[in-house]
């Protein structure tokens, strides 16, 4: 990792500078050469599974569907659902694999040479059209397969948790807030994210240094989805109180009169009189 990158991040952010000093040199390394279809198929296999289980499924997939080599899109489409399920893929993952194969043959998922020439956001836009592939999956591919230097996965739980720990916060930052703060790390946000992952390791080991200065997070208006979710939460919390008030009012309210217009006087019943009395 270039010392120029670490010097840039350290000068831009004193708290991150302390974290860099505590962790040491960055060991962000690229994985094997990126073949988009293969990388995304592996990502689908790993979804919601630990590494050991996912690798077992991939080995069965390679041995059965690919006859010892990683299957091609044509092989995936020619394979029966039963054989893909026998490898260990769920129904949802079988559908995702077939959609990935379809979109690879249609060139929506491009070859590696074409992918390398595209910008980060264009890659995200194209690949997230594949069933089962979200932004986070593509961001991991950008960082660890394509070596893109300026990726900040703000929805990643580890990155948000590392930021909370390193910056001495009581709760996780919202993704929008983390994105706004991370603007100072451009154009090396991938390296900053790697150090935030390491912050959790230092915290667990009791070796995380306190933040070099008090942090004041930027004020960011929530997006439409976040605002709508906050409104739903407020309504959910208020609903029991409204029900209690309504039930209390109905139990103490006088019974409603039947018949007649509201506000009309009730006719008084005639008084009983003793026999022989005058009217």
Q: Annotated catalytic sites, by residue?
A: 156
CB atoms within 10 A of CB 274: 5
Residue carrying the six token digits 């230097």: 149
- How far apart (Å, rounded) are the C-alpha atoms in residues 181 and 80? 48
Distance between CA atoms of residues 176 and 219, nearest Å: 9
- Residue 233 φ/ψ, nearest 5 degrees: -65, -40
Q: List, as one string, the DSSP characters of the chain.
A: --HHHHHHHHHH-HHHHHHHHHH-S------S---HHHHHHHHHHHTTS-HHHHHHHHHHHHHHTSTTSPPPHHHHHHS-HHHHHHHT--HHHHHHHHHHHHHHHTTSS--HHHHHTS-HHHHHHHHTTSTT--HHHHHHHHHHTS--S----TT-HHHHHHHHHHTT-SSPPPHHHHHHHGGGGTT-HHHHHHHHHHHHHHHHHT-PPPPSS---PPP----HHHHHHHHHHHHHHHHHHHHHHHHHHHHHSPPPPPSS-TTPPPPPPPPP--TT---
């Amino acid at each position: 990792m270039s010392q120029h990158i670490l010097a840039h991040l350290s000068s831009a952010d004193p708290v991150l500078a302390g974290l860099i000093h505590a962790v040491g040199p960055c060991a962000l390394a690229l994985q094997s050469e990126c073949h988009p279809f293969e990388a995304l198929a592996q990502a689908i296999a790993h979804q919601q599974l630990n590494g050991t289980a996912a690798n077992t499924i991939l080995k069965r997939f390679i041995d059965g569907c690919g006859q010892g080599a990683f299957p091609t899109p044509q092989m995936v489409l020619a394979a029966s659902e039963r054989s893909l399920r026998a490898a260990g893929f769920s129904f949802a993952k079988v559908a995702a694999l077939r959609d990935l194969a379809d979109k690879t043959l249609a060139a929506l998922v491009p070859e590696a040479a074409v992918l390398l020439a595209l910008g980060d956001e264009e890659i995200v836009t194209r690949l997230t059209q594949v069933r089962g592939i979200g932004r986070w999956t593509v961001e991991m591919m950008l960082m660890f397969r394509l070596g893109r230097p300026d990726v900040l996965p703000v929805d990643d739980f580890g990155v948000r948790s590392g930021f909370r720990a390193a910056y001495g916060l009581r709760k996780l930052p919202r993704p929008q807030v983390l994105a706004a703060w991370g603007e100072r790390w451009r154009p090396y946000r991938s390296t900053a994210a790697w150090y935030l992952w390491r912050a959790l390791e230092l915290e667990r080991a009791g070796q995380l240094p306190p933040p070099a200065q008090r942090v004041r997070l930027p004020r960011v208006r929530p997006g439409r989805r976040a605002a709508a979710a906050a409104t739903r939460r407020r309504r959910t919390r208020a609903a029991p109180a409204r029900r209690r008030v309504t039930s209390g009012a109905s139990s103490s309210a006088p019974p409603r009169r039947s018949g007649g217009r509201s506000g009309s006087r009730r006719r008084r019943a005639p008084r009983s009189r003793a026999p022989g009395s005058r009217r």
